[in-house]
């Protein structure tokens, strides 16, 4: 799993035809729901959608995401119940990605999901209503600890929090350009 503070949309690597142990098979979930193109979730552009969401041939909301390291993922938006600890969280929106690509094929097979942790409305922490989280990385092995919300652990030193910035977009109106030029945002 990749925990990404720069991404909004969380996603799972989905495989609807073959059975791989590291992919999510949506046909095995009774609560899985695809998001249609007409849904407000699909029609609103977000920080993670520099390429606007589109409609696939089944009129489902389709997303193509790309990242600074030249990796990408491609698939449909969906909603499902997630089991986190002892809680069932219904209606969590995520990407059910059919293809995941990076420039390193070894990494492609390892990367089965991404947890979007920025402040966008579709991020994991925003959908769950957590204003903060902590991710403690171990210095001795590959394991770590993810804490959602305020944590006052008696066995831990006090945690430091770094606020996530709120990214806003601004529009610029240009007046007086010659008519033979066109600008696209």
CATH number assigned to the domain comprising residue 121: 2.40.70.10
Distances (CA, A) of 38 to 41, 54, 77, 150: 8, 10, 12, 36
- As a whole number of angstroms, the distance between CA 60 and CA 57 comes to 7
Q: What is the pTM of this model?
A: 0.78
Asked whether residue 130 is assigned to any structural domain, the reply reads yes
What is the percent of the chain with per-residue pLDDT over 70, rounded to a whole number?
70
Asked whether residue 20 is assigned to any structural domain, the reply reads yes
Asked whether residue 153 is assigned to any structural domain, the reply reads no
| pLDDT higher than threshold 80 for residue 91 | yes
Residue 60's domain comprises 2-148
Q: Express each pLDDT in 57-80 by its tens digit.
A: 999 999 988 888 888 889 999 999
Q: Express each pLDDT in 133-179 by its tens digit.
A: 877 777 776 677 787 777 766 666 666 666 666 655 544 554 544 44
Phi, psi of 127 (to 5 degrees): -65, -30
Asked whether residue 164 is assigned to any structural domain, the reply reads no
Residue 109: CB partners within 8 Å, gap ≥ 6?
Answer: 22
Asked whether residue 134 is assigned to any structural domain, the reply reads yes
Asked whether residue 100 is assigned to any structural domain, the reply reads yes
Domains in the chain: how many in total?
Answer: 1
């Amino acid at each position: 799993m990749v925990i990404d503070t720069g991404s909004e949309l969380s996603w799972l690597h989905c495989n609807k035809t073959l059975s791989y142990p590291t992919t999510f098979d949506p046909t095995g979930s009774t609560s899985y729901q695809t998001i249609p193109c007409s849904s407000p979730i699909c029609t609103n552009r977000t920080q993670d959608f520099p390429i606007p969401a589109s409609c696939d041939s089944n009129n489902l909301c389709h997303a193509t995401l790309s990242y600074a390291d030249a990796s990408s993922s491609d698939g449909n938006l969906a909603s499902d119940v997630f089991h986190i600890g002892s809680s069932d969280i219904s209606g969590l929106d995520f990407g059910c990605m059919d293809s995941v690509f990076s420039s390193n094929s070894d990494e492609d097979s390892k990367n089965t999901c991404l947890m979007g942790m920025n402040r966008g409305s579709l991020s994991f922490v925003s959908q769950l209503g957590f204003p903060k989280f902590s991710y403690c990385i171990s210095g001795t092995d590959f394991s770590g600890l993810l804490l959602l919300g305020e944590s006052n652990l008696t066995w831990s030193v006090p945690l430091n929090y770094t606020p996530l910035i709120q990214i806003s977009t601004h529009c610029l109106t240009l007046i007086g350009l010659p008519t033979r030029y066109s600008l696209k945002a």
